[in-house]
Amino acid sequence: MPTKERVLDNLAFIANQGLIAAIAWHLLIATVFIALLLGWRPTKRSAALLLVVPLVSVSIAAATHGNSFNALVCGLSALTLLGLGAPLPSTRAARGSRVEVWAGAFGIAVGWCYPHFLTGHSAVVYTVAAPVGLLPCPTLFAVIGFSLLAGGFHSRAWSTALAALGLFYGVFGAFRLEVWLDLALVAFALVLLGGGWLPHRTLAANVEVSRAP
């Protein structure tokens, strides 16, 4: 297994080499967030499939920079979530609970300005080029955040799979790499997991799926 220093150096290299891609992801996230504030509501299926794309981006960035572990884990996770998102109903995504919405917005904000791995840049750069869409943890902050806004799409399978990925990277980042902010990712993943296993929500989701064409 690579040393902690080698892993951190690789992540920093990806973050600093991918500034333009990170800026593009920030613009996309801002566009989606503003559209949601203005009342846009995608279907559960389309929203879930869109949230797979950032993980594909992380997998590609890892593969092209010699990080086969993240390339494999994020790639397989993207395929798993793609399989779980495709059968979701084509009804409009609804807002999650108040706790989920606040946690989701905060998670997106943390992913937006994730304060690690960029070197030789001012703090301002983190607000427009933090490595969301390039590295697993900032990306998962945002992906889990958007999922929380929609109450995990009322899907136990989606919430469980995405939360498991967040828990893995949150624990790994905090205790293996000593990036203690990643403990917050653990917290957000637990909120997503807890919401996904609410009995009344699961029942409503099952009824909705049975009625879908």
pLDDT digits (tens, 9 = 90+) for 75-123: 999 999 999 999 999 999 999 999 999 999 999 999 999 999 998 887 8
Contact by Cβ (8 Å): 132, 15: no
pLDDT digits (tens, 9 = 90+) for 140-166: 999 999 999 999 999 999 999 999 999
Whole-number Å distance between alpha carbons of 76 and 99: 30
Neighbour count for residue 98 (Cβ, 10 Å) = 8
In the chain, where the domains are located: 4-207
Q: Which residue has the higher pLDDT, 201 or 157?
A: 157
Whole-number Å distance between alpha carbons of 37 and 103: 16
Reported as half-sphere exposure (CB side, CA atoms, 13 A), residue 100 has a value of 22
Q: What's the rounded mean pLDDT across residues 2-28?
A: 95
pTM for this one? 0.92
Quote helix, strand, coil % in the chain, to nearest 5. 75, 0, 25
Task: Please give the structure tokens belonging to residue 111.
Answer: 């992913």
